[in-house]
Each structure stands twice: as C-alpha cells, then as structure tokens.
Amino acid sequence: MHHARPTCPGRISQLLLCILWATGLNSGFAETPHPIVKVIEGGESKTLSEECLTTIVGPGLNQPDAYCGYGGCVGCVSPIRLKSGERLVGFSAGYWHGYPPTPLRYSSATIAEYLKIGLLADVVSPTGGRAMVVRSHDEGKTWSKPTLVLETPDDD
C-alpha cells in the first residue's frame, strides 16, 4: 500500500549543495570515504523546508509489520536518491530510543537509569532493532511498505 505525501517541486534540483560520497570502489573498502561537493546551479530552493517535511513511517502511519521487539519506535533516518531517481529512506525500528536485544547485557545500575528515563520494562526483543527501508518511485509522492534490510542477533 502506498501512502500519499505532499510534494515540493524542484526541491532536489534547486539545492545549493549536493554532497556525494566517493566510495573507494576502485581501491577496495580500505580507504575512508571523502566528500565531494558539487554546486548545483539555481541557488537556494524557493520552497520552505517546513513545506517539505512529512512523516513517511511512524506510529499510526505506514508502520513495519509487528515483530517480537517492535514497539512503534523508528529513528536514525537515512534518505538517499539513486541515479535511477528512486528514493530510499533507511531507518531503524524497535521498542525505545535504543533497541538492544533482551535480556539486557548492561549493569543493573545502567538498566535502572534507563528505566528511570523511560526504557520499557520487560520488553521481549531477542535480536533488538531492525534495519528497514521504504522506497518511492514517484519523487516521494508515495512510499512503499517498510521492508527488512538487516536483522542480526545484536541490534541493527
């Protein structure tokens, strides 16, 4: 199911700076990526940033399917646009601000502090959080249902 969102015409093409990361594919992955700055003609966007902000995944909207350890929290969003024009937004999903696997492997003092600031008690989350992604093929007007990218035994 796709979810509609407001459009911001030209917001990508009118950006002043576009940061691209060199991946070092020719020399393997041993090198640290270096930023390449490309100036886009046209200057600043005429569209206010507030007009471009929207929720594409979150509580009550396009949520991931339920899984053991998902409590409705999504975060650490990483949006990208591929050369094909497809948009991807990667994010983590879990039960709180952080999603470590349970039982928690912290000291009892650390757990007590986390509980004091809102950690949910008695969460069953054997693998912690998941890395997920949503996709758009129409310039961000609609978005796919979240799909799993990675789930390992120790919080992705």
- Tens digit of each residue's pLDDT (9 = 90 or more) over 85-95: 899 999 999 99
| DSSP code, position 61 | B
CA distances in angstroms from 45 to 16, 49, 89, 136, listed in the order given: 8, 9, 21, 21
Residue pLDDT, tens place only, 125-140: 998 899 999 999 998 8
CA distance 24 to 155: 27
Q: What is the mean pLDDT of residues 63-90?
A: 89
Is residue 38 a contact partner of residue 17, using CB atoms and an 8 Å limit?
yes
Confidence band (pLDDT; 50, 70, 90) for 100?
confident
